[in-house]
């Protein structure tokens, strides 16, 4: 069975990102002349351990959270684009003769997939896309294959269906993130061409680093570091519950000592982790420079993090906002959207699937 990472879909849909800490939804609309409008978005926190390492461990709790988020989103749209965690998908590029018919391509792809997928093909959902002519010449084409275990796909589809929604697109988180990043390239000199840009996604417990060059990922790495660490520090320092710590972190209301005693050490730690990641990038690729760092994820908007990373790495660092060039529906508070934008990158990238040609 194929799952449609690469197949264009026309019906209106919204993007839904199920992370380990929250369900995030974004709906975009066509604002004419190729521009987009942010219609609505919602973020609904997930119960602890409902999603662990990208796996849905508590289907009922996640479905219930999705239902609440959809209610908050207040849309009539029920079609949804979802994404699989990058780690749950095996991708590989292969070269095949040009001019094959779809059926012949499928046979070729399955033959190749058999060789490198460590599971039986009937346990796997497979999809492929023609990337373009192969470097060797026009008589061959490059094909990108993506494969994931069926249960990973089925769990996400089941969550959507249990909440009364219809999963019409299944993407991969790293591709969705890249789609959202492409909305931001105009913020860089020369639209970021021939520049190495590190997109650093600071999640609840994992930091993902992807270095992009001309729309291609040239390096990826995961490090065990995330915003939960700051929550733990707040809980320990001020004797708060996890919920109280999360709320206090977002809305303030912590003692004056918070900045010096808790926040600053966390920011220094985060900047150090990002510096370490960039060193790994230099030692394991042919590149020796980074032109920009883009911070995404829930912790990206912590006050002072971008400056701290800039001074530690000596690289221009910005906080992600994929909506910067879009018009905004009057029902959305702009200030809140800017604060939430870095955590909405994947949901935004998924919402863009509505405009696939």
List domains and CATH numbers for the chain.
88-150 (3.30.1490.300), 185-320 (3.30.420.40)
Q: Are 208 and 201 in contact (CB under 8 A)?
A: yes
Region 50-67 average pLDDT: 94
pLDDT tens-digit map of 276-311 = 999 999 999 999 999 999 999 989 999 999 999 999
The pLDDT value recorded for residue 356 is 84
> Is the model more confident about 298 or about 328?
328
32 burial type by CB count under 10 A (0-12 exposed, 13-18 middle, 19+ buried)? exposed
Q: Are 115 and 159 in contact (CB under 8 A)?
A: no
24, 52, 167, 289, 346 from 342: Cα distances, Å: 11, 21, 24, 24, 9
Q: What's the 3-state SS for 299-344?
A: CCCCCCHHHHHHHHHCCEEEECCCCCCCEECCCCCHHHHHHHHHHH
The pLDDT value recorded for residue 4 is 63
pLDDT tens-digit map of 159-178 = 999 999 999 999 999 999 99
> Is the predicted pLDDT of residue 243 greater than 90, yes or no?
no
Region 339-351 average pLDDT: 97
The conformation of residue 122, written as its DSSP 8-state character, comes to G
Residues 6+ apart with CB under 8 A from 106: none
Q: How many Å apart are CA 74 and CA 288, to the nearest integer?
A: 47
Q: How many Å apart are CA 184 and CA 356, to the nearest integer?
A: 18
Enter the pTM of the model.
Answer: 0.90
């Amino acid at each position: 069975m194929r799952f449609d990472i690469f197949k264009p879909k026309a019906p209106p849909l919204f993007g839904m990102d199920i992370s380990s800490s929250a369900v995030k939804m974004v709906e975009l609309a066509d604002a004419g002349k190729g521009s987009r409008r942010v219609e609505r978005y919602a973020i609904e926190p997930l119960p602890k351990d409902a999603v662990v390492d990208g796996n849905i461990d508590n289907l009922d709790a996640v479905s219930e959270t999705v239902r609440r988020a959809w209610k908050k989103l207040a849309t009539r749209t029920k079609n949804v684009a979802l994404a699989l965690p990058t780690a749950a998908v095996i991708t590989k590029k292969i070269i095949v003769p040009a001019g094959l018919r779809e059926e012949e391509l499928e046979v070729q792809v399955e033959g190749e997939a058999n060789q490198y997928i460590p599971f039986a093909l009937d346990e796997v959902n497979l999809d492929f896309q023609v990337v373009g002519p192969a470097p060797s010449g026009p008589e061959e084409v490059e094909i990108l294959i993506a494969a994931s275990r069926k249960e990973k796909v089925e769990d996400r589809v089941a969550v959507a269906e249990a909440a009364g929604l219809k999963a019409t697109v299944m993407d991969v988180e790293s591709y969705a993130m890249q789609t959202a990043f492409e909305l931001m390239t105009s913020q860089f000199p020369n639209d970021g061409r021939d520049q190495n840009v590190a997109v650093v996604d600071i999640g609840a417990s994992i930091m993902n680093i992807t270095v992009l060059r001309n729309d291609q990922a040239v390096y990826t790495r995961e490090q065990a570091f995330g915003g939960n660490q700051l929550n733990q520090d707040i809980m320990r320092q001020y004797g708060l519950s996890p919920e109280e710590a999360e709320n206090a972190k977002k809305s303030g209301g912590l003692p004056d000592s918070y900045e010096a005693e808790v926040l600053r050490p966390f920011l220094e730690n985060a900047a150090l982790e990002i510096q370490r990641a960039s060193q790994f990038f230099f030692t394991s690729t042919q590149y020796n420079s980074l032109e920009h760092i883009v911070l995404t994820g829930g912790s990206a908007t912590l006050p002072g993090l971008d400056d701290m990373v800039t001074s530690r790495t000596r690289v221009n660092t910005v906080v992600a906002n994929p909506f910067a060039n879009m018009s905004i529906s009057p029902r959305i508070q702009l200030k809140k959207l800017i604060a939430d934008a870095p955590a909405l990158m994947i949901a935004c990238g998924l919402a863009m699937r509505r405009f696939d040609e």
